[in-house]
Structures are given as structure tokens and as C-alpha cells.
């Protein structure tokens, strides 16, 4: 059976979740993961307050790690990804429609999938290309493939931002894993001696998901595991550390 792969290195990284705000805390969680509960919100202190106030909880997590990872770097293309996006805002808008109430243009604009990417580029006055995508249970893998495609096209660095959070109550019945709040950012560069390898092949049988794909990947990263295998979206995805 044919297999495809991409290789890349991570120049910088950042992760944030309630009560998981340092590398040490993430390493502790990775050794023995616990369910992450909503609570504190990220400060996103680097963003002007007028724009920061527009972002919801999910957006603030994404922006917090984007700023922390990218720093002062400019003109870096970005790939923002989230399986569910600002679904809580979308549910509120659908409720307004059901009640026959007028929709808020601002709320609608902040519910679209590229809202966080747009706020990030506006705040930094940065015209670099950005992409926002969702790919079901394998969203994170598709985002990495997109970022690696941009590296192959000549970008020296691509910022990958991934985030998700628990679904609102009307959608609980559709959860297929233990949804929790989390966000991380990677500054991807062409593969070096410390490269990460992502390979995939068709695979029809999906395993029962224990946690969202993004959290599985954070555990792989912070626990320094040799490999991570995930079945999602009709494919078997294998993450591994690759010696150049």
C-alpha cells in the first residue's frame, strides 16, 4: 500500500491551555494527561485592546500562542486550523435566527473560520499570506501538509496555529472524543537534523479517540515520544522523529 510523507523541523513553539501555560506544566501533563477544564483565559497582552476584545475564548488561545511563537518575525505565512472553529458563536447566531432576531454583522464576522488569522494580521499590519482550514478529525495533519507545501514553494518559515475547545451544549451528542480547550503554535522550517516526519496511508478502521488530535500531538511533543500513530479521516497517520 502506497505511503506519503512530509518532513519538517520546528524552529520555535508555544502552547497554552487553562493552567497549562509553561513548558514544565505541559511536560507534567504529557507524562500523565488529565482532562483540561475551562477556567482562566489568555491575556494576549501583545495585541491592542480594541482588537483583543473582539476575540472569543478560542480566538484568544490561538492569538496567545501565535504571538508567543512568532515574536517580532515579520512576513511569515500562517496556517490557522481548528476542527470546530468558533462554533459557540455560530450556535448563538443560529439561535438568533430561530428566534427571528436580526444577526449582528460583527458577531457573524468573528464566527468565520479565518477570524483569528484576520485579527492577527490586522493587529500586526502584516500582509503575509494566511490560510484557515478545518479537516475533521485529521485537521492537524492536513494543516501540517499545507504548511509543508508552502515550505516546498520557497517559504523559509511557516507559522502553524492549531486550537479547539469543548463544544457548546447543543452539540455534545456529536462529540467523538473528549473535547478540551487547547492551542499551540509551531514555527515550521525545512527539515534539518531534528526533523519530524509525518507519513500517511489509507486505513479504513478508526480507533476510538481518547483525546483530540491536537492534544495527542502535544503529548507526543512534550513527552519526547518516538512515534505517534493516529487513525482519522480514513487514513493512518504516523508521526515520528526523523534522524537526518
Cell 464566527 maps to which residue? 111
Report whether pLDDT(205) > 70: no
Instruction: Identify the weakest region by mean pLDDT among 168-182, 194-208, 210-224, 228-242.
Output: 194-208
Instruction: Identify the weakest region by mean pLDDT among 12-16, 62-66, 170-174.
Output: 170-174
Which residues have C-beta within 8 Å of that of residue 162, sequence separation ≥ 6? 80, 81, 82, 139, 140, 143, 183, 184, 185, 214
Cell 495527542 maps to which residue? 216
Determine how many CB atoms are found less than 10 A away from the CB of residue 150.
18
For the chain, the structural domain boundaries read 12-190
* pLDDT attached to residue 199: 96
Contact present, 61 and 165 (Cβ < 8 Å)? yes
| Percent of all residues in the chain with a pLDDT value above 70, rounded to a whole number | 96
Determine how many CB atoms are found less than 10 A away from the CB of residue 52.
18
The model's confidence at residue 209, banded by pLDDT at 50, 70 and 90, is low
Name the DSSP class of 123.
H
Which residues have C-beta within 8 Å of that of residue 155, sequence separation ≥ 6? 76, 77
Cell 513548558 maps to which residue? 23
The model's confidence at residue 94, banded by pLDDT at 50, 70 and 90, is confident
* pLDDT attached to residue 171: 87
The model's confidence at residue 109, banded by pLDDT at 50, 70 and 90, is confident
Report whether pLDDT(244) > 60: no
Q: Which CATH number fits domain 12-190: 3.40.47.10, 3.20.20.70, 3.10.20.440, 1.10.10.60?
A: 3.40.47.10
Instruction: Identify the weakest region by mean pLDDT among 12-26, 29-43, 85-99.
Output: 85-99
pTM score over 0.85: yes
Contact present, 119 and 125 (Cβ < 8 Å)? no
Cell of 146: 499545507
Cell of 206: 478508526
Q: Please return the burial class of 180, using the count of CB atoms within 10 Å of its CB with bins 0-12, 13-18 and 19+.
A: buried
Q: How far is CA 150 from CA 29, 128, 228, 232, in A?
A: 32, 12, 24, 23
pLDDT: which is higher, 204 or 173? 173
Determine how many CB atoms are found less than 10 A away from the CB of residue 172.
10
- What is the average per-residue pLDDT within 120-128? 93
Phi, psi of 197 (to 5 degrees): -110, 130
Amino acid at each position: 500500500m502506497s505511503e506519503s510523507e512530509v518532513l519538517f523541523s520546528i524552529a520555535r513553539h508555544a502552547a497554552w491551555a487553562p493552567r497549562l501555560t509553561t513548558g514544565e506544566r505541559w511536560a507534567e501533563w504529557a507524562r500523565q494527561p488529565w482532562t483540561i477544564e475551562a477556567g482562566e483565559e489568555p491575556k494576549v497582552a501583545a495585541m491592542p485592546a480594541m482588537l483583543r476584545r473582539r476575540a472569543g475564548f478560542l480566538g484568544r488561545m490561538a492569538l496567545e500562542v501565535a504571538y508567543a511563537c512568532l515574536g517580532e518575525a515579520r512576513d511569515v505565512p500562517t496556517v490557522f486550523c481548528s476542527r470546530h472553529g468558533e462554533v459557540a458563536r455560530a450556535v448563538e447566531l443560529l439561535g438568533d435566527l430561530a428566534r427571528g432576531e436580526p444577526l449582528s454583522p460583527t458577531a457573524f464576522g468573528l464566527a468565520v473560520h479565518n477570524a483569528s488569522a484576520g485579527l492577527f494580521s490586522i493587529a500586526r499590519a502584516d500582509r503575509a499570506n494566511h490560510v484557515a482550514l478545518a479537516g475533521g478529525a485529521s485537521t492537524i495533519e492536513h494543516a501540517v501538509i499545507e504548511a509543508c507545501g508552502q515550505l516546498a514553494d520557497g517559504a523559509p518559515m511557516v507559522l502553524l496555529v492549531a486550537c479547539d475547545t469543548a463544544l457548546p451544549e447543543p452539540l455534545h451528542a456529536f462529540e467523538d472524543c473528549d473535547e478540551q480547550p487547547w492551542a499551540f503554535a509551531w514555527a515550521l522550517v525545512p527539515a534539518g537534523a531534528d526533523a519530524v516526519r509525518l507519513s500517511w496511508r489509507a486505513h479504513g478502521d478508526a480507533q476510538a479517540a481518547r483525546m483530540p488530535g491536537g492534544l495527542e500531538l502535544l503529548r507526543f511533543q512534550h513527552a519526547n515520544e518516538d512515534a505517534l500513530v493516529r487513525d482519522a479521516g480514513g487514513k493512518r497517520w504516523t508521526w515520528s522523529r526523523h534522524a537526518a
